[in-house]
Amino acid sequence: MSKKRVIVVGGGASGLMAAGQAAGQANKQRALAGASVLLLEKKSSPGRKLLLTGKHRCNITNTDEIKEFLRHFNPKGKFLTQVFYQFFNTELQAFFEELGVPTVVQRGGRVFPKSERAEDVVEALVRWAKAQGVEIATHAPVTGLLVEGGRVAGVSTSHGEHYADAVIITTGGATYPGTGSTGDGYELAKSAGHTIIPIRPALVPLITKGDVAPRLQGVSLRNVQVNLWVNDRKQDDIFGEMLFTHFGVSGPIILTMSGQIVNELRDGNKVEISIDLKPALDHLTLDARLLRDIQDMHRKEFKTLLENLLPRKLIPVCIEQTGISARKHNHAITAEERKRLRLWLKDFRLEVTGDRGFKHAIITAGGVETSEVDSHTMESKLVKRLYFAGEVLDVHGDTGGYNLQAAFSTGWAAGRASCES
DSSP 219-264: -EEEEEEEEEEETTEEEEEEEEEEEE-SSEEESHHHHHHHHHHHHH
Query: What letter represents residue 112's amino acid?
Result: F
Q: Say which CATH number the domain at 22 has.
A: 3.50.50.60
For residue 312, the enclosing domain spans 205-356
3-state secondary structure of 40: strand
| Percent of residues in the chain assigned helix, strand, coil, to nearest 5 | 40, 25, 35
Are 111 and 187 part of one and the same domain? Answer: yes
Are 125 and 45 part of one and the same domain? Answer: yes
Answer with the one of 309, 334, 356 that is the final residue of a domain: 356
Looking at residue 159, what is its pLDDT?
A: 86
**Selection from 237, 234, 233, 176 nearest residue 203 by Cα:** 176
Task: Find out whether 5 and 163 touch, Cβ atoms under 8 Å.
Answer: yes
Strand pairing report for 248-250 and 233-244: antiparallel
Are 350 and 410 part of one and the same domain? Answer: no
Distance CA 40, CA 45 (A): 10
Distance CA 155, CA 112 (A): 35
DSSP 179: G
Are 88 and 236 part of one and the same domain? Answer: no
- Strand order across the 36-40 sheet: 135-137, 36-40, 5-9, 166-169, 386-388
Cα distances (angstroms) measured from residue 85 to each of 260, 391, 406:
28, 19, 12
Are 346 and 374 part of one and the same domain? Answer: no
Global pTM reads: 0.91
Are 281 and 309 part of one and the same domain? Answer: yes
Are 270 and 187 part of one and the same domain? Answer: no
End-to-end CA distance of the chain: 12
Helix (H), strand (E) at residue 415? helix 402-418
Domain count along the chain: 2
Task: Find out whether 362 and 175 touch, Cβ atoms under 8 Å.
Answer: yes
Are 182 and 127 part of one and the same domain? Answer: yes
Distance CA 421, CA 407 (A): 24
Are 72 and 11 part of one and the same domain? Answer: yes
DSSP 151: E
Answer with the one of 304, 325, 356 that is the final residue of a domain: 356
Are 152 and 215 part of one and the same domain? Answer: no
Are 29 and 177 part of one and the same domain? Answer: yes
pLDDT in single tens digits along all 421 residues of the chain: 578 999 999 999 999 999 999 998 544 444 445 799 999 999 999 999 999 888 899 999 999 999 999 999 988 899 999 999 999 999 999 999 999 999 999 999 999 999 999 999 999 999 999 999 999 999 999 999 999 999 999 999 988 999 999 999 999 999 888 777 889 999 999 999 999 999 999 999 999 999 999 999 999 999 999 999 999 999 999 999 999 999 999 999 999 999 999 999 999 999 999 999 999 999 999 999 999 999 999 999 999 999 999 999 999 999 999 999 999 999 999 999 999 999 999 999 999 999 999 999 999 999 999 999 999 999 999 999 999 999 999 999 999 999 999 999 999 999 999 988 6
Are 182 and 75 part of one and the same domain? Answer: yes
Strand pairing report for 271-276 and 142-148: unpaired
Answer with the one of 336, 356, 376 that is the final residue of a domain: 356
